Amino acid sequence: MRILAGALAALLGPGGIARAEAFAAFTPAARGSGFTESFDRALEAERLPVITLDGAAAGAGEDDPASVPEGKHPHTFWIGVVSVVTVAGSAYNSFSDGKSQKWHFTNEGWFGQNTYAGGGDKASHFVSYYIVGKLLSEVNEELGMRKDSAALLGAGVSAFAGLVTEIGDGRGRYGFSYEDFVLDGLGAATSLAITHYGLDDLIGFRAGLVPAPAAVCCPFGGTGKDYTQEIYTGDLKIAGLGARAKFDPGPARFLLFSMSYSAKGYPYSDPLVRQRQIGLEVGLNFGEILKVIGVPKDQWWGKILYLGFDVLRFPYTQIGMYYDLNNGKWHGPGIGDSFPGGGR
């Protein structure tokens, strides 16, 4: 969550996507400047006319520049600004974290029981950079890029931001972790794949916080933050499944079936009580609820709501059972906050 907060804070700031739309609104007036206009022409060059079998150009279509409204031409200056600010946010987040020391690599392991965060940090890296890629994709599209191009650029910038984060970590207490960087790239690539194949209505990933007892602080050393209150999910959306399998899910269209991962008590609690929990949950699909109550997808505030509910997991909107890999025990039913060994 530290990673996501750093990358998104710089990108969004107050106003978030609304600011991106404000950028788009001001750009046409600035197109007369040689700098901006040259970038606009370069990006618009990708919009080639469709050629029919007889060699003639097709009529105005999706890829025909003449059919694209002026306000939807790529605003490349602002697309560049958003990309640079995202990477700068990741750089600031990592380079300002603690005192500098000799630059070094580190082998943190993956999701093992004896790793420093029990895999909580690894789940965070994957989901965080998936969310950054998805957010950048939507902002880029709002700024006039075609859907696939917007997703490709968003995923590329997200993965690069992950690399910058690891370079910054390399001079600090954590070190450059290739495991983290691999998961950053996988998260970004997943956002691209879901967009490219049109799977947004079927699959998603979310990050969330859960209430938890305060961990016993610091008797066992450890580095970094406590991951006890973080939880990450991969979601199957029943509405999308019904549409693709051609069945009516009825009220189940408002539900998600999710798998979750969370690490409890890492890195500070007694190793005997630490937990790595894999959960099976049923929760609310707020995207479907927003559709039914008529929230528009073409308004900036509607887009923020849809995106927020799609990537953030809100506590008390799901119920599930959670298996502790460390001790071989089930916990629940609950919301993913069970950690009986973590209190003072």
More confident residue, 21 or 154: 154
Question: Which pLDDT band holds residue 12 (cuts at 50, 70, 90)?
Answer: very low
Give dist(CA 22, CA 191) in Å, integer: 25
Give dist(CA 58, CA 51) in Å, integer: 6
- Identify whether the C-beta of residue 144 lies closer than 8 Å to the C-beta of residue 24: yes
Non-local CB neighbours of 193 within 8 Å, separated by 6+ positions: 199
Question: Which pLDDT band holds residue 207 (cuts at 50, 70, 90)?
Answer: very high
CA–CA–CA angle 180, 182, 187 (5° rounding): 95
Burial class of residue 247 (count of CB atoms within 10 Å of its CB; 0-12, 13-18, 19+): exposed
Average pLDDT over residues 312-334: 95
pTM, rounded to two decimals: 0.78
pLDDT at 202: 97
Average pLDDT over residues 4-11: 51
The CB density around residue 58, as the number of other CB atoms within 10 Å, is 12
- Tokens 């502790």, residue located: 324
Give dist(CA 46, CA 72) in Å, integer: 14
Q: Please, what is the average pLDDT of the chain?
A: 81
- Residue 29's H or E segment, with its range, is helix 16-30
pLDDT at 99: 87
| Nearest by Cα to 119 from 260, 221, 6 | 260
User: 79: number of CA atoms within 13 Å, CB side?
Assistant: 26
